[in-house]
Amino acid sequence: MLIYDALIDTRLLDFTIENCEKICVGKRSGRHSMKQEEINMLLIEKAKEGAHVVRLKGGDPFVFGRGNEEVDALTEEGIETSNSRHFLLHCSAGTCRNSGDGAEGQPELSCNDRAFCRR
């Protein structure tokens, strides 16, 4: 099962197995295929159904991609996001230090309830 964003290079979809279920949950300015809460629920439902879920996000998913919200939603439901049979979170971050911190489980840089500023 592949749940992907609008920001990915769609040529990546060619690398999935033939019977892979693919769901686009992409968001573009003013055009959202799903609200974030619906995406979170989809991830939870598919993982609980026993599907092997791959979440493919473009850009920097822990800067403006709401990656932490998705991880939090899964964790709150008791779904492991790493080393799990059903859901594996792997993030290849951008090259700047701040993006790397976000991908390594540090606070999402745009998450208001966790963001901080070091002076």
Task: Just list the catalytic residues.
Answer: 5, 27
- In the chain the first and final C-alpha atoms are separated, in Å, by 43
Residue pair 110/62 in contact by the 8 Å Cβ criterion: no
**Torsions phi, psi of 48, nearest 5?**
-70, -25
Cα-based torsion angle of the residue sequence 83, 49, 44, 53 in order, rounded to the nearest 10 degrees: 50
List CB contacts of 72: < 8 A, sequence separation 6 or more: none
- What is the rounded CA–CA span in Å between residue 45 and residue 83? 19
The SS3 of residue 107 is coil
